[in-house]
Amino acid sequence: MPHEQRALDYLVGLGANLGSDFTEIELRSAFRALAREYHPDRHPGSNQQQRERLSALFARLRQAYEHLQAVGSRQ
């Protein structure tokens, strides 16, 4: 389960309030809150470098969410 733990640690590191026994609803809620905060389109005044950083961060956020969502659906 190291991939699951890394994905969970990543979301928590960004500010998600999730424990290892999260529910699907908690995961979705945490993802949506983080997506609102980190989505590049939510920062229209940012420069190109900031937008690239936010885009990369958001892509990793989405990847971690999708990974945890897939793992949760198998349980």
Beta carbons of 40 and 59 less than 8 angstroms apart: no
Domains contained in the chain, number: 1
Q: What is the DSSP letter of 45?
A: T
**CA–CA distance, 1 with 6 (Å, rounded to integer):** 9
Per-residue pLDDT of the chain (75 residues; tens, 9 = 90+): 688 999 999 999 999 999 888 999 999 999 999 999 999 999 999 999 999 999 999 999 999 999 999 887 655
What number of residues does the chain have? 75
Say what the pLDDT of residue 74 is. Answer: 55
What CATH number did the domain enclosing 21 receive? 1.10.287
* Domain extent for 8: 2-74
User: Computed from CA positions of residues 17, 39, 2, 25, in that sequence, does the dihedral angle turn out positive or negative?
Assistant: positive
